[in-house]
């Protein structure tokens, strides 16, 4: 008897944000084809409009805190955690596009496809934040990775950009191998790829007998492999080796986009997997993540100390920040989720701002982001120097910046979970990190200029830096609205719960 | 009720904002505005001692507004006998420091004034914040303006000094952040409250009533976290190495504020946090800390004695004097703490004055080597006379302020069960050494023949400079002659601290 | 009938093994690729013999139609196809072979030993035919199916961007600052500072990078 084709009841609201952004990206690809002339700025503005529309759609479908919707055979969920994350990711993408518009033409790498690719990657990130099925998690990772391989290699006049793209591709493929193998093992053990069902399976199978059931063992091994796959994406030590090279070689806006967006989305997916599916295994992954976080914070910050190249320094600093975020997510409690979202936004503002300042100082035909270029910046461009100092202080976690509250919430969540040692390692590495952030500030304010530097300003950069500075300071003084927002962002723990 | 504290707190910051609007090149305007704002702040702050109820040991002028209600963090200000004089000291020293820069800071004047006013807001904030997070915010924010002041307007090895200053204190304060977080979570779990509370008064109250008792090991840990942060700031031996660098490279006004107020943040924190929150651990640690303090006293004095640079000498004398203050605090009794608080004010006044004195001569000769001078008394008699009074005040001559404070500290340490006479006996050597090195400095620079031709033509102090000295001299003499005036308002609060301390410790045993 | 099938199975297996051996041993890379296609065909035949027609077609479509052709194209675009000096096997092939064989055996032997060789008496109906697959795609796995389409689109666009060679200015080597400084040092002894902006007032339509002696034009 041939089955009838019955398309199951679907709730388009659940995928509305990513549907919007994918549709916009596809249409934009075609619009770009018919656009006359060589100037591609209009495509960039249209992409920004697409992000704005997606944000509006996200706000429109936002569920009440604590409620969620699932659809497509429970493969995606729309919960307030997902929508908050989506909004943050859209902001990150908007910053990236705003700082790209003039960058591309200035460096002669302008192609209209750049913007749809950013939108596709953003869509992949949104998908990662919402998916509750490992197949979709894998597809999300691949979608954002494949677009980023291309974007990394986008700076074609530079050999290093190609090299970075290749490096990222190879390591990304390696990570994808771990990920897919782990997913296969989990399927083999649990018989399902649905996160909720995996969680239920583990709960029942671990509860039944005292012995470790073989199915659960497979899930454990698979979970470890999935974790390794994610560690590459979020560049936790010792899976971080690609980060500085790839950031350095790729176009600076892409590096900025990767340093915040990819991390945020991958962390969100990992958090959901840990909380929804693998919570019964917390005794296993907690120490592992603890060790990884400690190594990451210490190594990332110590390596950043040695860097005379600002872009590499920011890359290592992003490695270090991944360590702090790991502390936030590994507690897997409500405060952990909140601190993750808060930290992500604070870090996004400061890091995007810092990369934007880097772009103002980047010159055509050069690839040296020497800290020397910042020397004496204050005497000639005081506002730029103050903006950069704000970002550096926020990244270092000095009040009154948003970065301070980010660190505070992360440490508070860790203490609440009883991870006192991790809090100690966290504050210790913050003290180390202060070294190199402070060095940049000192160069800007207290040194004489080393060479003539003429910053490039344009609307996109100025607005990005402006928003980032204002956001960093306002949320540093008055984080209350943001705290309410993240407190209302709850991860759905069950279907339709 | 009129929000005095908020007004005093934010007025300098508003002044800094207003300064941003002034034209960059009009240095005189910037100086005048900053001075006017700081003087206005001082005048308003005089209302605090006048309206202060000396009999009331609890917080006064309290303001509380919810800030991050989800975490129980509030904008919570208040003043008690402990912080009263420190706030007034701050508002008093800032205009003097600003006035001292009138002729010595010529580059980027406007920004200097802005930083100074921001620093004033931050320092006042530390003294009056009653919410631990708010306290931490102000505490950290004192770092940025000071580091910039040293790094931009300092001399010689200024960048190194600024970096060292920032990193030392930052490393200490992140540990304090850990302590603050831990304290609130432990408090939440102990009291069964739904939300964390970062209110210092609430946590302190619960400790005093016994509603919140810490396990001893945890109390030791938290005590240690706070202690390191404060000990670096004080600075206690062996955390003091940033201080001489920072002082020597800082501009005069920076040194005055650094010695006058910033170091007091550390000792204030020791009383407000370590003593009040962790009585058992305080008692446990008091002998060891007393030893560190005594080492600091002797070491600071010894190194000061070996200095030929006057500013370094005064800087090391600060290490020694701050050792006395810590000793008084960890005597753990009323008289010791009272003496310590008074000595904080005294040290602020007399060391600030000494830095100004060194600054005056440095502006004239661009050197601070003692061997470069001699017989200044004959060339600059007014200068010599004022300098003598300040040196004597710092040495602790009876009749001037320093004597009262040091005497109370010694007395407190002597009768303290935690410390005892041994500590006093050794620290007395520090007093003697202080007399030796300060008077030696005075002799070498002011006494004797004018042996350098450059010194013969030096101009004596100008009217403004005399004015500053006199302004500092007035409280120095008044405290020396009428110490009760200053003791009275702090008595109630400090008794409360000490009594609560005793009762908690007694309960624990 | 059964015997015929078994003989065919054996012949096919030998064919696959032989083809695989040829892939790694012939000197000409194009020939190796062609042998690879033969190998893939053999596997498709095995699937057919096992009554998995759909899998056999997919095997031919994907592995021969896409993967092998891709390999062929890649090989043809490479300049050096046949290098008589290049040894076919690299030096440590024996130890490599040994290690690989041991690893492979470590997986295979226990599997074969433990496997319950359940042989159905009668052929079972195909449970994953194209029809079921199609229904799964349009039903339970609708979303992944669609997302995969988006993924392919993005990958396609990206591939075009990476491979596009039409711009006249592409792949002009741009010097790094260090190289430029080194170069400058050769020309003139120790310049105090570099000029304000190395950017000549060239038009934006024809941007030239800073003067580089080795403008390695790599593009065609």
CA atoms within 13 A on the CB side of B376: 28
What pLDDT is stored for residue C205 in this prediction? 39
Rounded to whole angstroms, the Cα distance separating A431 from A448 reads 26
Token pair 């952004």 in the structure block, residue? A21
- Looking at chain A from residue 60 to 89, which residues have their Cβ under 8 Å from any Cβ of chain C? 72-73, 75-76
Q: Half-sphere exposure (CA, 13 Å, Cβ side) for C78?
A: 13
What pLDDT, on the 0 to 100 scale, is given for residue C142? 86
How far apart CA B12 and CA C118 sit, in angstroms, is: 86
- Residue C200: band (very low, low, confident or very high) from pLDDT cuts 50, 70, 90: very low
pLDDT at A425: 92
In order of A362, A414, B482, the CA distances from A95 in angstroms are 17, 30, 63
**Max Cα-Cα span within chain C:** 90
If you ran DSSP here, which 8-state letter would residue B271 be given?
Answer: I
Dump the DSSP string for B117-186: HHHHHHHHHHHHB-BHHHHHHHHHHTHHHHHHHHHHH--SSHHHHHHHHHHHHHHHHHHHHHHHHHHHHH
- Cis bond upstream, residue A400 (ω within 30): yes
Distance CA(A41)–CA(A44), nearest Å, equals 5
Please report the pLDDT score of residue A124 as a whole number. 94
Report the alpha-carbon distance of residue A481 to residue A242 in Å, rounded: 37
Task: Provide the pLDDT confidence category of residue B132 given band limits of 50, 70 and 90.
Answer: very high
Q: Are the CB atoms for A316 and A303 separated by under 8 Å?
A: yes
Token output for B324: 């006395």
Q: Contact, B57 vs B34, CB < 8 A?
A: no
Beta bridge partners of C207: none
Query: Is the pLDDT score of B377 beyond 90?
Result: no
Phi-psi map region of B255: left, alpha, beta (phi>0 left; psi -120 to 50 alpha): alpha
Low-confidence ranges of chain A (pLDDT < 50): 497
Q: Which two tokens stand for residue C95?
A: 């130890």
Residue B436: pLDDT over 60: yes
CA–CA dist B117, B19 (Å, integer): 10
Q: Cβ contact (<8 Å) for A434 and B70? A: no
Q: Which of A 87-106 lie inside 8 A of C, CB atoms?
A: 105
Least confident interval from A179-183, B316-320, B453-457: B453-457
Was domain C2-85 assigned CATH 3.60.150.10? no
Q: What is the predicted pLDDT for the residue at C210?
A: 43
Question: Are the C-beta atoms of B360 and B310 separated by less than 8 Å?
Answer: no
A in contact with C (at least 3 C-beta pairs within 8 A): yes
- The DSSP result for A402-423, as a single string, is HHHHHHHHHHHHHHHTT-HHHH
Q: Report d(CA A410, CA A231) in Å as an integer.
A: 19
Q: What share of chain A is helix, strand, coil (3-state, %, to 5)?
A: 75, 5, 20
Task: Label residue B62 by pLDDT band (50, 70, 90).
Answer: confident
A10/C140 Cβ within 8 A: no
Asked whether residue C80 carries a pLDDT value surpassing 80, the answer given is no
Report yes or no: A333 at the B interface, CB cutoff 8 Å. Answer: no
Degrees to nearest 5, angle at CA C172 with C170 and C178: 140
DSSP A186-209: HHHHHS--BHHHHHHHHHHHHHH-
Compute the nearest-CA separation of B74 from chain A (Å): 11
Confidence of residue B453 (pLDDT cuts 50, 70, 90): confident
Q: What is the pLDDT of residue B280?
A: 86
Print the domain residue range for B477: 4-508
Burial of A245 (0-12, 13-18, 19+ CB in 10 A): middle
- Percent residues over pLDDT 90 in chain C: 13
Return phi, psi of residue A260, to 5°: -110, -50
Q: Please say if the pLDDT value at position C168 is more than 60.
A: no
Name residue, tokens 């030590």.
A237
Residues B199-209 have a mean pLDDT of 86
- Which helix (H) or strand (E) is B472 found in, with range? helix B463-481
Quick one: DSSP state of residue A63? P
Asked if pLDDT for residue C169 goes beyond 60, the answer is no
Q: How many domains does chain B have?
A: 1
> For residue C155, what are its two tokens?
């990958």
* Model pLDDT for residues B460-476, shown as the tens digit of each residue: 778 888 888 888 888 88
Q: How many residues would you count in chain B?
A: 509
* Cis peptide upstream of residue A238 (ω within 30 degrees of 0): yes
Long-range contacts of B419-428, Cβ-Cβ distance < 8 Å, separation of 24 or more: B419/B286, B419/B287, B419/B290, B419/B327, B419/B330, B419/B331, B423/B290, B423/B291, B423/B293, B423/B294, B423/B327, B426/B294, B426/B297, B426/B298, B427/B293, B427/B294, B427/B297, B427/B298, B427/B323, B427/B324, B427/B327
Cβ atoms of B308 and B282 within 8 Å: the answer is no
Strands A76-79 and B73-79: unpaired
What angle, rounded to 10 degrees, do the helices at A402-416 and A382-396 form? Answer: 0
Query: Which whole number is the average pLDDT over C187-209?
Result: 42
CA angle B396, B402, B403 (to 5 degrees): 60
Chain A: closest CA distance from residue B430 (Å): 34
Phi, psi of A479 (to 5 degrees): -80, 0
Q: Chain A partners of B70 at a C-beta cutoff of 8 Å?
A: 480, 483-484, 487
In A, minimum Cα distance to B151 occurs at A446
State whether residue A131 is helix, strand or coil. strand
Contact in structure between B133 and B180 (CB atoms under 8 Å) = yes
Query: What H or E segment, with its residue span, contains residue A71?
Result: strand A68-71
Which chains contact C through at least 3 pairs of Cβ atoms less than 8 Å apart?
A: A
Alpha-carbon distance of B200 to B214, in angstroms, equals 15
**What CA dihedral angle connects B403, B409, B412 and B417, to 10 degrees?**
-150
Instruction: Report, as an integer, the average pLDDT of B109-130.
Output: 90
Q: Per residue, what are the HEC states of chain C? A: CHHHHHHHHHHHHHHHHHHHHHHHHCCCHHHHHHHHHHHHHHHHHHHHHCCCHHHHHHHHHHHHHHHHHHHHHHHHHCCCCCCCCCCCCCCCHHHHHHHHHHHHHHHHHHHHHHCCCCCCCCCCCCCCCHHHHHHHHHCCCHHHHHHHHHHHHHHHHHHHHHHCCCCCCCCCCCCCHHHHHHHHHHHCCCCCCCCCCCCCCCCCCCCCCCCCCCCCCCCC
User: ∠ CA(A421), CA(A426), CA(A431), 5° rounding?
Assistant: 130
Q: What percent of chain C has pLDDT over 70?
A: 59
A372 at C interface, C-beta within 8 A: no
Question: Does the structure show a pLDDT above 60 at C173?
Answer: no
Residues of B in contact with A442 (CB under 8 A): 151, 159, 162-163
Spatial distance between the Cα atoms of C87 and C89, rounded to a whole number of angstroms:
5
Residues B42, B475 contacting (CB under 8 angstroms): no
Distance CA B211, CA A135 (A): 52
**Which residues between 283 and 312 in chain A have a beta carbon less than 8 angstroms from any beta carbon of chain C?**
none
Asked whether the beta carbons of B93 and B353 are under 8 A apart, the reply is no
- Mutate which: C126, C134, C150, C168, vs A, most A CBs within 10 A: C150
Q: Please tell me the distance in Å from B137's CA to the nearest CA on chain A.
A: 6
Task: Give chain A's mean pLDDT.
Answer: 88
pLDDT over 90, % of chain A: 45
**Which residues in chain B touch residue A480, judged by CB atoms under 8 angstroms apart?**
67-70
pLDDT digits (tens, 9 = 90+) for B270-309: 988 988 888 888 888 888 999 999 999 889 888 888 888 8
Of the residues C154, C194, C198, the best mutation for testing chain A's interface (the one with the most A CB atoms within 10 Å of its CB) is C154
3-state secondary structure of A250: coil
Residues of A in contact with B137 (CB under 8 A): 399-400, 404
d(CA A277, CA A492) in angstroms, rounded, equals 12
CB contact under 8 A, B185 and A445: no
Between CA C42 and CA C19 the distance in angstroms is: 9
The residue assigned the tokens 């063992």 is A217
Interface partners of B (3+ CB pairs, < 8 Å)? A
Whether residue B238 is preceded by a cis peptide bond, meaning omega within 30 degrees of 0, is yes
**Partner residue opposite A430 with nearest CB, options B133, B141, B174:** B174
Between residues B342 and C214, the one the model is more confident about: B342
Q: Are A102 and A128 in contact (CB under 8 A)?
A: no
Every domain of chain C and the residues it spans: 2-85, 128-161
CB atoms within 10 A of CB A495: 14
The average pLDDT across B172-199 equals 88
Predicted confidence at residue C208, as pLDDT, reads 41
The CA distance from B356 to B351, in Å, is 8
**pLDDT of residue C188 exceeding 60:** no
């Amino acid at each position: 008897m041939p089955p009838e084709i019955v398309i199951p009841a679907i709730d388009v609201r659940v995928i509305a944000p990513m549907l919007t952004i994918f549709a916009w990206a596809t249409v934009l690809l075609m619009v770009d084809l018919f656009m006359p002339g060589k100037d591609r700025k209009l495509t960039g503005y249209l992409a920004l409009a697409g992000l704005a529309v997606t944000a509006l759609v996200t706000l429109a479908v936002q569920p009440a805190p604590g409620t969620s919707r699932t659809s497509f055979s429970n493969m995606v969920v729309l919960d307030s955690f997902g929508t908050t994350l989506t909004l943050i990711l859209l902001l990150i993408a908007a910053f990236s596009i705003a700082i790209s518009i003039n960058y591309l033409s200035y460096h002669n790498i302008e192609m209209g496809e750049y913007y749809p690719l950013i939108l596709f990657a953003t869509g992949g990130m949104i998908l990662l934040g919402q998916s509750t099925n490992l197949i979709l998690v894998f597809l999300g990772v691949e979608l954002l990775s494949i677009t980023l391989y291309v974007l990394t290699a986008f700076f074609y006049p530079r050999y290093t950009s190609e090299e970075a793209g290749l490096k990222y591709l190879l390591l990304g493929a390696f990570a994808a191998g771990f990920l897919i193998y782990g997913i296969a093992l989990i399927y083999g053990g649990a018989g399902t790829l649905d996160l909720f069902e995996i969680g239920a399976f583990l709960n029942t199978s671990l509860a039944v007998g005292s012995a470790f059931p073989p199915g659960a063992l497979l899930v454990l091994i698979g979970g470890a492999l999935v974790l390794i796959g994610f560690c590459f994406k979020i560049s936790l030590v010792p899976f971080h080796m690609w980060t500085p090279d790839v950031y350095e070689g790729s176009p600076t806006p892409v590096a900025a986009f990767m340093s915040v967006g990819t991390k945020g989305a991958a962390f969100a997916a990992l958090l959901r997997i840990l909380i929804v599916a693998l919570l019964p295994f917390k005794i296993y992954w907690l120490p592992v993540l603890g060790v990884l976080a400690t190594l990451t914070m210490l190594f990332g910050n110590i390596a950043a100390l040695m860097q005379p190249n600002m872009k590499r320094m920011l890359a290592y600093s992003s490695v270090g920040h991944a360590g702090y975020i790991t502390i936030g997510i590994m507690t897997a409690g409500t405060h952990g989720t909140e601190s993750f979202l808060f930290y992500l936004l604070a870090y996004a503002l400061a890091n995007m701002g810092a990369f934007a300042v880097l772009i103002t100082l980047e010159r055509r035909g050069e690839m040296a982001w020497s800290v020397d270029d910042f020397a004496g910046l204050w005497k000639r461009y005081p506002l730029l120097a103050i903006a950069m100092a704000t970002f550096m202080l926020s990244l270092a976690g000095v009040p009154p910046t948003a970065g301070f509250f980010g660190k505070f919430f992360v440490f508070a969540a860790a203490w609440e979970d009883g991870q006192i040692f991790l809090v100690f390692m966290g504050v210790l590495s913050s003290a180390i990190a202060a070294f190199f952030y402070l060095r940049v500030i000192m160069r800007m304010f207290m040194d004489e200029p080393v060479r003539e530097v003429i910053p490039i300003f344009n609307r996109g950069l100025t607005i990005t830096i402006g928003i980032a500075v204002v956001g960093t300071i306002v949320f540093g003084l008055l984080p209350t609205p943001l705290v309410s927002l993240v407190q209302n962002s709850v991860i759905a723990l069950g279907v339709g719960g | 009720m009129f929000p005095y504290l908020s007004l005093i707190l934010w007025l300098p910051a508003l002044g800094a904002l207003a300064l941003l609007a002034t034209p960059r090149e009009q240095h005189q305007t910037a100086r005048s505005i900053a001075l006017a704002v700081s003087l206005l702040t001082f005048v308003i702050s005089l209302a605090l001692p006048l309206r202060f109820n000396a009999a009331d040991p609890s917080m006064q002028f309290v303001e509380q507004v919810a800030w991050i209600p989800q975490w129980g963090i509030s904008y919570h200000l208040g003043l008690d006998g402990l912080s009263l004089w420190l706030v007034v000291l701050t508002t008093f020293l800032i205009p003097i420091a600003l006035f001292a820069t009138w002729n010595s800071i010529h580059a980027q004047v406007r920004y200097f004034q802005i930083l100074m006013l921001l620093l004033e807001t931050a320092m006042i904030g530390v003294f009056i914040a009653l919410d631990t997070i708010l306290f931490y915010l102000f505490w950290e924010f004192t770092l940025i303006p000071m580091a910039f002041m040293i790094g931009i307007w300092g001399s010689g090895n200024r960048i190194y000094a600024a970096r060292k200053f920032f990193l030392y204190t930052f490393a200490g304060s992140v540990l304090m952040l850990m302590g603050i977080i831990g304290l609130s979570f432990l408090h939440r779990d102990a009291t069964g409250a739904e939300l964390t509370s970062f209110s210092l008064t609430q946590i302190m109250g619960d400790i005093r009533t016994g509603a919140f008792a810490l396990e001893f090991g945890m109390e030791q840990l938290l005590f240690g976290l706070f202690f390191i942060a404060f000990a670096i700031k004080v600075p206690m031996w062996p955390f003091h190495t940033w201080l001489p660098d920072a002082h020597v490279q800082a501009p005069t006004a920076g040194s005055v504020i650094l010695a006058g107020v910033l170091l007091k943040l550390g000792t204030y924190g020791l009383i407000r946090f370590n003593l009040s929150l962790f009585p058992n651990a305080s008692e446990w640690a008091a002998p060891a800390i007393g030893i560190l303090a005594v080492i600091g006293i002797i070491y600071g004095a010894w190194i000061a004695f070996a200095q030929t640079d006057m500013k370094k000498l005064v800087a090391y004398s600060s290490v020694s004097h701050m050792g006395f203050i810590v000793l008084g605090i960890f005597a753990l009794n009323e008289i010791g703490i009272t003496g310590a608080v008074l000595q904080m004010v005294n040290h602020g006044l007399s060391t600030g004055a000494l830095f100004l004195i060194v600054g005056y001569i440095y502006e004239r000769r661009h050197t601070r080597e003692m061997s470069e001078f001699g017989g200044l008394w004959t060339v600059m008699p007014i200068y010599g006379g004022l300098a003598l009074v300040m040196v004597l005040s710092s040495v602790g001559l009876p009749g001037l302020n320093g004597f009262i404070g040091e005497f109370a500290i010694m007395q407190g340490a002597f009768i303290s069960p935690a410390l005892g006479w041994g500590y006093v006996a050794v620290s007395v050597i520090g007093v003697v050494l202080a007399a030796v090195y300060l008077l030696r400095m005075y002799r070498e620079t002011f006494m004797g023949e004018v042996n350098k031709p450059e010194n013969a033509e030096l101009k004596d102090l100008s009217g403004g400079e005399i004015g500053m000295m006199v302004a500092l001299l007035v409280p120095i003499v008044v405290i020396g002659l009428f110490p009760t005036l200053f003791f009275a308002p702090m008595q109630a609060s400090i008794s409360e601290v000490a009594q609560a301390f005793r009762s908690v410790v007694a309960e624990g045993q | 009938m059964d015997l015929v099938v078994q003989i065919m199975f054996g012949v096919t297996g030998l064919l696959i093994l032989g083809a695989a051996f040829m892939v790694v041993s012939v000197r000409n890379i194009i020939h190796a690729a062609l042998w690879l296609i033969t190998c893939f065909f053999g596997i498709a035949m095995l699937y057919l013999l096992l009554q998995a027609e759909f899998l056999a077609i997919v095997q031919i479509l994907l592995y021969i139609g896409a993967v092998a052709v891709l390999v062929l194209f890649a090989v043809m675009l490479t300049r050096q196809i046949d290098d008589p000096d290049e040894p076919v096997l690299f030096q440590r092939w024996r130890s490599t072979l040994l290690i690989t064989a041991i690893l492979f055996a470590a997986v295979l032997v226990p599997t074969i030993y433990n496997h319950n060789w359940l042989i159905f008496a009668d052929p079972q109906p195909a449970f994953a035919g194209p029809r079921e697959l199609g229904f799964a795609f349009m039903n339970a796995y609708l979303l992944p199916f669609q997302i995969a389409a988006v993924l392919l689109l993005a990958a396609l666009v990206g591939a075009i961007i990476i491979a596009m060679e039409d711009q006249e200015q592409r792949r002009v080597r741009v010097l790094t600052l260090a190289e430029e400084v080194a170069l400058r040092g050769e020309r003139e002894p120790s310049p105090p500072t570099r000029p304000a902006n190395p950017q000549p007032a060239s038009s934006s339509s024809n941007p030239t990078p800073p003067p580089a002696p080795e403008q390695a034009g790599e593009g065609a």
